[in-house]
Structure 1
Amino acid sequence: MDASKVILSAPLQQLKDEHISLRADMDRIYEITEEIEYDSGLVVVQLFSKLYEQISAFNNKLKAHSKREEEGLFPMMARRLGENDRTIEVMEYEHAKAEQHLQDFLTEADRAGAAIDENDAQSITVYAVQALATLTQHFAKEEKMLFPLAENILSVEEKEVIERLISGR
């Protein structure tokens, strides 16, 4: 099956479309992490403050997106795929891994506080970079494999349930 040819139903397309906005945020975050890596001195600490704000906002958006997948799409697909299939397990693991990297970033940044120096800022930024790497691969997997698979195996009724979950009705 050529996943790029699969037309997604509205709820699956919406989940896929949410990646566009999340990726735009990830691009901004990545640009700041690059500057932090290559700059030095006080500017690194200032950039880190900007990165912290971006990561905090992004983390909330990502959690909302992940929750919609974890409460609707993933359990339904897991039931359809059967207990020997590890597809959903891998997706959930990747969610947890990305969330952990973001949480580590926020925790370490909070621990360092206002007294943060250039070296701490650069070392803590590594968590953000790891989260971005995990999410970049994860989004690609969902778009190329998971969403087209969901389109093929979920019933119209199941897709309607996902749509209600997404829209909060």
Structure 2
Amino acid sequence: MTTANTFKNDLPALRILENEHNYLSYLMDGWHAIVLGFERDIYTEEEAREAIKTLRKLIVEFIEPFKNHTEKEEGILFPMLSKYIGDEQGPIMALEEEHEEIDAYIGHFLHHTLGDMGALSLQQMKDVVKDAGEAFEVIIIHFVKEQSIVFPMVINTLRITEQDQLAEELHTSII
């Protein structure tokens, strides 16, 4: 049963980002189920081969909307906030580092699943899938940090005109 997500924020800019987080979480749920299957040892070697192909396909489909989302944060949101809180340390720097960490996990997974996976043993597939699981965990924690630290900063730091400008600039599709 699917339930409608309710927005936690009234500010239009934050609703846009929150909606993107919800959409990306929905996409991630699809591939995380496969990761959990590997962690729980539910696959035979042949099933694992099919599962890892599906996992790769789902992650590839996830990349573009995720990249579009992070580019909006790094190109619009973070620079706007950094005028007030800086970006040499603190939350903006930490979030940008997490973007890089997520890219590294996904890139490592994609690199090791490129081409014929027929030569991979079940254990090798499980090892490779761990990168997708790590990416999932970092993204989930990342979203929580943004919503609990950065979102309040937007409300408490940016002027109303800046909040309006932020909403206008963020109002683009990630898909």
TM-score, normalization: structure 1? 0.87
Which residue of 2 is the match for residue 10 of structure 1? 12
Distance 1:157 1:70 in 2: 20
- Report the alpha carbon displacement of residue 62 of structure 1 after superposing the two structures with TM: 0.8
1:20-77 per-residue CA deviation (whole Å, 9 max, x = no partner) reads: 1111222221110122231221000000000001110111111111111111110111
Distance 2:60 2:10 in 1: 31
Query: What is the aligned length?
Result: 162
Amino acid at match of 2:34: I
1:104-144 per-residue CA deviation (whole Å, 9 max, x = no partner) reads: 1111111x534342333211101100101111111111111
Check if 1:70 corresponds to 2:48.
no
Which residue of 2 is the match for residue 3 of structure 1? none
RMSD, matched Cα: 1.8
Structure 1: which 5+ residue stretches go unaligned? 1-5
- The change in CA–CA distance for 1:156 and 1:93 in structure 2 (over 3 A counts) is same
Which residue of 1 is the match for residue 139 of structure 2? 135
- The change in CA–CA distance for 1:123 and 1:91 in structure 2 (over 3 A counts) is same
Which residue of 2 is the match for residue 109 of structure 1? 113
**Which structure has greater helix proportion?**
1
Which residue of 1 is the match for residue 62 of structure 2? 58
Distance 1:83 1:96 in 2: 15
Amino acid at match of 2:106: L
Distance 1:135 1:67 in 2: 15
Check if 1:96 corresponds to 2:111.
no
Between the aligned residues of both structures, percent identity stands at 23
Match of 1:21 among 3, 7, 23: 23
Which residue of 1 is the match for residue 160 of structure 2? 156
The answer as to whether partners of 2:49 and 2:118 remain within 8 angstroms in 1 is: no
Distance 1:70 1:141 in 2: 15
Map 1:74-89 to 2 at 5 A.
74-82=78-86, 86-89=90-93
Higher mean C-alpha displacement, 154-163 vs 51-60? 154-163
Distance 2:29 2:18 in 1: 17
Map 1:31-50 to 2 at 5 A.
31-37=33-39, 38=41, 39-50=43-54
Distance 2:141 2:107 in 1: 19
Distance 2:56 2:87 in 1: 40
- The change in CA–CA distance for 1:19 and 1:160 in structure 2 (over 3 A counts) is same
TM-score, normalization: structure 2? 0.84
